[in-house]
Amino acid sequence: MPDLPAVPSKPPLRPSPVPATAVVAPTPHPLTAIFRLLTTLTATAGVTLELLLGSPGRILSYFSIQSNALLAVIMVAAAHRAWTARRPLPSSVTGATLLYVTMTGLVYHVLLDHTTPPFSMTGATEPPAAWHGQWIVLQLLHTVTPAAALVDWLVLTAPGRLHLRQTAAWLLYPLAYLVFSLGRGELLIPGTTDRYLYPFLDVEQQGYRDTLANALLLGLAFYGVAVLLVALDHARPNPIRRRGKTGFRL
């Protein structure tokens, strides 16, 4: 009988540089998902109530409304991922959303809360009475949701995910909004009450030179807050408890 070829043997398995105990199976986070769903409902309620109180075309043109609508979409997606133990959303998306809603709160409380005439997205000429409809909506959109977004980032999100290289891209939307706001004002008839939505971007009252100067200062504030968020993200402790000392962070 002729010699048969040798049966090839299985190659030996190489030892893994990562021990099996270091791999942690992804686990759902129902409490995180519930908090994010509540944030989604809050932002959605604020936007919906504002639409019911004013003209939808005007209301939807405000940066505050757009940033809160974006927050609602991102939060419901993040809640689903936390509930199903999937990877978190890209930090470029969550970081941009955090920046926009944070600036929404800062601009309102620093520049708009005590203006004369009072700031209103519905065209009201009198300051809203405390704990009445318009006042509650303003607080939901400019205080509650920004605070909830910051709490989610500080308490429920792993640190070190934001990066300085992302900050330039985050400024594209505020720049696009500036172009939209000024273009919208040019298309409306002079003297229209809602021609320019924010007093610091009111070309009719201030002229283009002062308006663009305000826009530049606001853009620098956006960038400064973005850099601050990145720095804090790399300096803050990890609020998420790890399984073991060598487990992968998921």
- pTM (2 decimals)? 0.86
- Higher-scoring residue by pLDDT: 10, 44: 44
Give the pLDDT band (50/70/90) at residue 125: confident
* Own/partner pairs, 139-144, CB within 8 angstroms, 24+ separation: 140/42, 140/43, 140/45, 140/46, 140/49, 141/43, 141/46, 141/47, 141/50, 141/64, 141/65, 141/68, 141/104, 142/64, 142/104, 142/105, 142/108, 142/109, 143/105, 143/108, 143/109, 144/42, 144/46
Looking at residue 163, what DSSP letter applies? -
Distance of alpha carbon 155 from alpha carbon 213, whole angstroms: 37
Instruction: Using the predicted structure, report yes or no on whether residue 22 has a pLDDT greater than 60.
Output: no
Q: Is there a cis peptide before residue 117, judged by omega within 30 degrees of 0?
A: yes
pLDDT of the residue at 27: 86
Percent of all residues in the chain with a pLDDT value above 70, rounded to a whole number: 86
Residue 157 Cα distances to 141, 240, 241, angstroms: 22, 7, 11
- Higher-scoring residue by pLDDT: 245, 10: 10
Per-residue pLDDT reduced to its tens digit, 147-180: 999 999 999 999 999 999 999 999 999 999 999 9
Give the pLDDT band (50/70/90) at residue 10: low
Distance of alpha carbon 32 from alpha carbon 187, whole angstroms: 44
Burial 179-205 (b: 16+ CB within 10 A, else e): eebbebbeeeeeeeebbbbbebbbbee
pLDDT of the residue at 243: 42
pLDDT of the residue at 241: 62
- Arithmetic mean of pLDDT, 199-218: 96
pLDDT of the residue at 5: 59
8 A C-beta contact, residue 110 and residue 146: no
Give the pLDDT band (50/70/90) at residue 4: low
pLDDT of the residue at 16: 56
Per-residue pLDDT reduced to its tens digit, 218-245: 999 999 999 999 999 999 999 876 543 4
Distance of alpha carbon 138 from alpha carbon 50, whole angstroms: 8
pLDDT of the residue at 187: 94
Instruction: Using the predicted structure, report yes or no on whether residue 246 has a pLDDT greater than 50.
Output: no
Whole-number average pLDDT of the chain = 89
